[in-house]
Structure 1
């Protein structure tokens, strides 16, 4: 269905044309899944953009080769020709949902736009078709989501909307660029099952781009490993995992975190509490009626309490929409909240922006979506240095030196400082965000899916970097992640959230190896295992209820955590 031969892509640089994809060839057959794997910047996403005719011209161009969709040569098509085949014959799920969705249009309008543009239905049928698409991707409360805007959805919800848009016209070829990066493990499992069902029903061919070798093992028929724009190895998935032929493939597989293999966390004496949270609640009003009065409230976080000590890592896990990211934003005063938050002994309740400024120097956040949290009009060097300017910590050559050192610490070259965010891969943008968060030498770092966009080898480097920072400076982490294998590597304690409340908490080994709550067990059972010979496990259904929405005056029933010994607690 898709034939790529000797595909080469070049980008314009001040020193001349640079080849970023060099002579790539592969075939994709009906009903087959081919995975492109490799480090950030290896050319995976560039391949997808070249196939879709979305390379940013004139800065980037196909320098040679052929791309055929059936008998149709794509490299000779003009804009009109590409518009005729996109979504209908070949569709793409993009890596960063927030930058791919229109912030000024509701979800329903964006889904309807795809359907109407390609004549899949008439205007009267579009709302019903849009609702069916959201139901197909198991989005909670689909009727309400249709009326919402992208900023009102969690990262995982936005990714599901993107998948629904890609599947709207039943394409022959689906290009999935990191389709589950922003999703928790249970939703990831559901989406992978959905893609498999689409293949079975329609014979859809899938070109999947991913850095998650567990997803590769579970989904791929064949794998192509890329490095520096060139093919390093191509093999059936079982052969690759059993006996990789190249040194790079062996390194890539060795870097994959596997649940249950992390060594015991070293016993270190933890310092004094640096973050104390008590009865934290975050609720959002929903207005309606003729007078636009508050009729209901979204209970995103409901009476959550925890403490983090210097040098300690508390991991926060749960499904998309459970309130994990909302807690992180509340700690920095980015959403309205109730309860008590104490940072280094200082209560932040009631503080205005001016009073919060010195507090935010001690608590920084790495946001979930690396593209949406960088300013497209500023160079990345300016953005990493900006916190130093705002807090008056350095200027001139000293600031340039500190910024360059931050780039080196996260594995980027200082000569990249003059580039803009669009010139980097998704993984590289996330490293820039981490560098910016570290610029003020904070005492607490809220890492919201901070390594989810990184390939396994860079992920290992960043986790090692964060661990070294913790060892050197006693840095405390609130580590928000859906990757249970990563959590096992970094966490001292784990807190599991469901529907805005904590259902289980305790030391890492107790929660991950002896889970007591059914929800925790379901999360662990959904983790993809990097072993293609392992039979696919039976999936347990996810939560259909979503974030609690209740009439004014009502609150969710508070869960009571029972003490199971040694600090391990679970809801009865």
Structure 2
């Protein structure tokens, strides 16, 4: 690796130099070093990946470079950071404001906590443009629209006037990427930039970042737990562990000949599509979840009288069931209705159709009548930062469901919380901490512990391992499968990671714009896909091998549904599912909605 500050090959100088960087945080026991002596150079047009477990110092490195360490809790205790000739560690707040977005920009891991909930998408993007003089006030709306188109956001004109809560997780992440790219920065720090994105959009975003590098010589510091993304994007890799550099090498060398046991363990934990062992066919146990003709629609109001002028058909006529001890996986692009189905099962959004949980029809039930039903079905949400209360310590949040349902009290609550923390790989002494004191992956584990607190029969796992590094992801997936084997637990597993789905799913449902394109047993759908959209999803999966290039993503020439939004009085066509035998069904044609 080039030593910090040296001139690279061809006489080029690094655009970013980090030398012997150390960061300390304040704890009750005194100062704790969370980043210890990290050094690297980042050359123009280069992609350097930081990999490692949650809490290893990856995001802390990014925050130190951006001048965003939480003061006074954290501080740079040693070393230097230089952006070209500018010493970033010597800058004050006003100096950093001129640098951020204009010269160095960051895509944050959790978009919901990074976007302003009180401002429209257009206002947030134009604020960045105007702050740094990238265009005039008159030009800003058109520039914002062009940025949204660049990141492949559907219906960009409508998205400009929307607020963050009106967008799916993947859509919010794309808005964050658009804001980061707004001023054509020299350095782009991408902290888990594709965590919330489905595989096809992830591939498009990665292609977009590569295009930006080719056109502007932008350097990218990529922070990710997805070794497939590392293999596809990185020129060099630095593996961090507990704040120290464990290993650093060119990407091909690191994958082919890892030098440390830790790196070898990290690479061995990477799920690879097509390598999952066969899963035994579940017995014909009773159906614990039964969904029939489920539809979820949201009104769009406009005009002086605020009348409903259109509806978002988020879910349209979806039917499925989950048996005891079975895992059903929902896959599809962001905005296809996966998370909306999970929320409908919990009664968090208005819906039509029929939902039965352990034989109990939930439609029309009052809130008190739903309480015993909700003990049987719990959800791990996609965005752990938004689903945890920042004002409560995590221990209180984990035991709160047990208090509400009167299942435990006193010391029994503490014992149960400690046991749950151990089960998800956290130390019991973390129970008194607050959400902001955890990394993104650790916060997701807290959410899983909270979901397990009521010993439910069904868990809706909405991107439940997307924020975890590969080794912890493997541990959590192993835990979920262990709980399934021990307690007959059922899962509705919502994910964009096809390799993870292959590991955990018994059956797979592929969705697009609120409707089912293909469903059936795992092997039939993932290894013998029939619908062109399913084939497109599988082709977009990044390959965790830098010597193999991901195949081109085929154009989707299937059912044409460009948008789930229809004027009042109109509705989408219902797809007709053809039975191919052994429970494998595929969309073959459109039929008018009855």
Q: TM-score, normalised by structure 2?
A: 0.95
Aligned-partner Cα distance in 1 for 2:556–2:149 = 13
Q: Distance in 1 between matches of 2:467 and 2:301?
A: 35
The one of 576, 579, 590 equivalent to 1:560 is 576
Match of 1:559, SS state, is: strand
Following the alignment from structure 2 to structure 1, what is the Cα–Cα distance between the partners of residues 140 and 294? 41
Deviates more, 1:349-358 or 1:223-232: 349-358
**Contact 1:140–1:545 under 8 Å retained in 2:** no
Residue 291 (structure 1) shift: 1.9
For residues 371-414 of structure 1, give each alpha carbon's deviation from its aligned partner in whole angstroms, at most 9, with x where no partner exists: 00000000000000100111011111010000110000000000
CA distance in 1, matches of 2:284, 2:194: 35
2: CA distance, partners of 1:379 / 1:2: 37
Post-superposition offset of 1:271: 2.0
Counterparts in 2 of 1:545 and 1:162: CA distance versus 1, 3 Å: farther
CA distance, structure 2, for counterparts of residue 23 and residue 441 of structure 1? 44
1:483 matched to 2:510? The reply is: no
User: Is 1:11–2:25 an aligned residue pair?
Assistant: yes
Structure 2 match to 1:168? 182
CA contact (8 A) 1:316 1:495 kept: yes
What is the CA–CA distance in structure 2 between the aligned matches of 1:522 and 1:444, rounded to whole Å? 30
Aligned to 2:528: 514
Kept after mapping to 1: 8 A contact 2:25/2:73: yes
1:286-324 deviations in whole A, cap 9, x for unaligned? 111232111111000000000100000000000000000
Which residue in the other structure is 1:103 paired with? 117
Q: Does 1:501 align with 2:515?
A: yes
Q: Encode CA deviations 1:450-506: one digit per residue, 9 max, x unaligned.
A: 000000000000000000100011011000000000000000000000110001000
Match of 1:455 among 442, 447, 469: 469
What root-mean-square deviation, in Å, do the aligned CA atoms of Structure 1 and Structure 2 show? 1.0
Instruction: Report how many residues are paired.
Output: 572
Pairing of 1:542-561 with structure 2 (within 5 A): 547-561=563-577
Shift of 1:508: 0.2
For the 8 Å contact 1:522–1:540, the answer to whether it is kept is yes
**Distance in 2 separating the partners of 1:161 and 1:436:** 30
What is the distance in 2 between the residues matched to 1:153 and 1:380?
Answer: 27
1:373 to 374, 387, 399: 387
1:346 aligns with 2:360: yes
2:51 counterpart (25, 34, 37): 37
2 CA distance for matches of 1:545 and 1:82? 45
Partner secondary structure for residue 260 of structure 1: coil
Kindly provide the CA deviation profile for residues 151-171 of structure 1, in whole angstroms up to 9, marking residues without a partner as x.
000000000000000000000
Contact 1:497 1:503 in 2 (8 A): yes
Matches within 5 A, 1:20-169: 20-169=34-183
- Higher relative contact order at CA 8 Å, sep ≥6: structure 1 or structure 2? 1
CA distance in 2, matches of 1:200, 1:62: 33
Q: 1: distance between equivalents of 2:167 and 2:363?
A: 26
Matches of 1:546 and 1:152, distance apart in 2: 19
User: Structure 1: which 5+ runs fail to align?
Assistant: none
- Correspondence 1:202-241 to 2 at 5 A: 202-241=216-255
SS at match of 1:550: strand
Matched, 1:245 2:259: yes
Of 30-39 and 539-548, more deviation after overlay is shown by 539-548
Q: 1:533 maps to what in 2?
A: 547
**Secondary structure at 1:372's aligned position in 2?**
helix
Question: SS of the residue aligned with 1:262?
Answer: coil
The separation in 2 between residues aligned to 1:533 and 1:278, in whole angstroms, is 46
Corresponding residue for residue 337 of structure 1? 351
1:317 counterpart = 2:325: no
- TM-superposed deviation, 1:541: 5.1
Distance 1:542 1:557 in 2: 18
The aligned runs of 1:403-442 (5 Å cut-off) are 403-442=417-456
Give TM-score scaled by structure 1 length: 0.99
Cα deviations by residue, 1:317-357 (Å, 9 ceiling, x for unpaired): 00000000000000000000000000010000011222111
Map 1:245-394 → 2, pairs under 5 A: 245-394=259-408
